[in-house]
Amino acid sequence: MNLELRHLRVVCAIAETGSVTKAASLLGLAQPALTAQLQRIERTLGGPLFDRDRRGARPTALGELVLSRAKVLLPAMKGLQDEAARLAGVSTGVGRYRIGAVDGSVLGGLVHRLAADLPEAQISTYPSGRPDELAHMVVGGRLDFAIIGMCGHPGPVVDFGISWRQIALDAVHVLMSTRHPLAGREELDLAELAGAQWVARAGDTCFGDCFAAACSRAGFTPGRIFEVDERACVDIVDSGDAVGLCQPTFRPVPGLVMRPLTGAPLRWRQLIGWHSQSDAAGMAESVHRYAVDAYQEAIARNPGYLRWIARNPAFGPVSTPVG
């Protein structure tokens, strides 16, 4: 793993709060995910950065060295980004929509609606697998809107000045081959998949930790998990060698089926955010409406999920402000 600025922000957050748990809350991450990330950072740097006990986390000598460098690098990079944005003249105009997203299922429909209703608008997109990256780009003025997804814990990514609005709350589905013995069922219990092999998209989010915790609550430890890209996920599931996890907005693939899990032990929230002091705030209500419409179009391709939502009305499109 190569050390990145976001890793330095993690180290600084832990040092500032004196606790991995408090740092996780500050950064909008699950505590197990932040712990795993810290361990990867420490392996990269060659040693522990904090002494941790019941009283909290205190920097080691190596940690102090990293913190001293981070306190120089992070402000310098922030200054560079802000100055570059000003020189490039990227302040948002009414005709410009710069949208970053971690999930294309809503982004595609949103862009289509913007382009159809506002043909003169300048629309650009930025894909990322990291919600924190998109949030910082919104704060720095390099994006107008960020569409992110996260597990069902309470808070969104924390960044000063960003307003978050929820697009939807979904029950995560199991993706399996039509040849799988359970494929004919409309709903599955997670415990029924105790002996399965799994595929998952590679990434640095908390979802793997949330999945492991859900399996533990169901009474088992998941078997082998293949971390691959999205195309390979589909191919491995199609081969029948494993099952995967997906959102109900996943576009149907011939030979594969999506099934919700009883009780929704895994949940996925989709949020859209913008800076409250930017010009984008004046367009936020209409952009959020486009995003909800795009989401509803996406789930309409999954009639089984529409029936599931009818029985579980707390899920589906929700427009409650969350930050």
27 and 102 within one domain? no
What value does the mean pLDDT of the chain take? Answer: 85
Please write the tens of the pLDDT for every residue from 228-265: 777 888 899 999 889 998 889 888 899 999 999 999 99
Whole-number Å distance between alpha carbons of 152 and 269: 6
Contact between residue 148 and residue 157 where contact means Cβ atoms under 8 Å apart: yes
Instruction: Tell me the residue type at 16.
Output: E
Total tally of structural domains belonging to the chain: 3
- pLDDT for res 178: 95
Q: Do 119 and 147 lie in a common domain?
A: yes
Instruction: Mark whether 163 and 282 lie in a shared domain.
Output: yes
For residues 182 and 258, membership in a common domain is answered with yes
Domain stops at, among 241, 265, 289: 265
Residue 33 forms part of a structural domain: yes
Point out the least confidently predicted range of 30-39, 137-146, 175-184, 286-295: 30-39
Domain stop point among 53, 87, 121: 87
Question: Could you list the residue range(s) of the whole structural domain that residue 292 is in?
Answer: 91-170+268-317
The pLDDT score that the predictor gives to residue 126 is 92
The mean per-residue pLDDT over the stretch 163-192 comes to: 93
Residues 11 and 30 in one domain: yes
Q: For 253-302, what is each residue's pLDDT tens digit?
A: 999 999 999 999 999 889 999 988 888 888 899 999 999 999 999 999 88
* Domain match, 65 and 207 both: no
Considering the domain boundaries, does residue 230 fall inside one? yes
Distance (Å, rounded) from C-alpha 119 to C-alpha 114?
A: 8
- Element containing residue 43 per DSSP (H, E): helix 31-45
Do 64 and 9 have their domain in common?
Answer: yes
Asked whether residue 323 is assigned to any structural domain, the reply reads no
Average pLDDT rounded to a whole number, residues 115-125: 88
Last residue of a domain, one of 45, 62, 87: 87
* Integer Cα distance of 177 and 237 in angstroms: 6
Residues 274 and 166 in one domain: yes
Are residues 256 and 177 part of one domain? yes
> Which of 148-152, 214-218, 264-268 has the lowest average pLDDT?
148-152
Flag whether 305 is in a domain.
yes
Residue 219 is predicted with a pLDDT of 93
Q: pTM of the prediction?
A: 0.68
